[in-house]
Amino acid sequence: MNPGITLALSKGRIFEETLPLLAAAGIVPDENPEQSRKLIIGTNRPDVRLVIVRATDTPTYVQYGAADLGIAGKDVLLEHGGAGLYQPLDLNIAKCRLCVAAPKGFDYEAAIQRGARIRVATKYIKTAREHFAAKGVHVDLIKLYGSMELAPLVELADAIVDLVSTGGTLRANNLVEVEDIMPISSRLVVNQAALKVKRELLQPILDAFAGAIK
């Protein structure tokens, strides 16, 4: 186990919204991952480094202890499952909603009322399966890795399960939200073994993050 602290972050919105939290813990990255091609980024603290990972990979790095802690969306954590991960804080960042959306002309309510089998494209297979099962809606789920919004437009699916923040992407593609599934924000995830072994280094960081949450 690396003696210092390794924090797993993804580029983009999570990185940007994490900077103020890091600052509150007295941690300033040496480089902006958006401009750098480096995957391991040092900080002003010799005992703290960042690893830049794909958002969906964050729980994996933390679960196996390759990173001591990380920040991941609830969407990603629900799909990954929580094994080996301590989730002490909702950081209230990278907020959005998970919802069902469909083309303007598709009568979703009528379809589910008559018990029709609907085709739903999503990258959130597990969460979508649980949502529709709880409602007793019959679905064929189609796994995609990105741009779910395209699927109904080319008749790959009747509807999608995806994240929405401004709603701009749905509007631009003639889709409407037909059902809200849950609010999403990003959480701090900590490796359970690291929390025991590195408590002295980790606890002040967790406390600073907790104090800086909006």
**97 in contact with ligand PRT (CB under 6 A):** no
**Least distance in angstroms from the C-beta of 138 to ligand PRT:** 25
Of residues 146 through 205, those in contact with ligand PRT by CB under 6 A are 146, 162-169, 184, 186
**76 in contact with ligand PRT (CB under 6 A):** yes
DSSP state of 57: G
**Least distance in angstroms from the C-beta of 57 to ligand PRT:** 9
For the chain, strand residue ranges (E) read 5-9, 40-42, 48-52, 69-73, 85-103, 118-122, 139-143, 159-164, 175-191
**96 in contact with ligand PRT (CB under 6 A):** yes
Q: How many residues bind ligand PRT (CB under 6 A)?
A: 23
Q: How many Cα atoms are found within 13 Å in the side-chain-facing hemisphere of 2? A: 18
Task: State the Cα–Cα distance between residues 91 and 212, nearest whole angstrom.
Answer: 9
**33 in contact with ligand PRT (CB under 6 A):** no
**Least distance in angstroms from the C-beta of 77 to ligand PRT:** 9
**87 in contact with ligand PRT (CB under 6 A):** no
Task: State the Cα–Cα distance between residues 3 and 135, nearest whole angstrom.
Answer: 48
Q: Using alpha carbons, list the distances in angstroms from residue 63 to 22, 123, 212.
A: 21, 21, 25
**CB nearer to ligand PRT: pick between 171 and 196:** 171
Residues that bind ligand PRT (CB under 6 A): 10, 12-14, 54-56, 73, 75-76, 94, 96, 146, 162-169, 184, 186
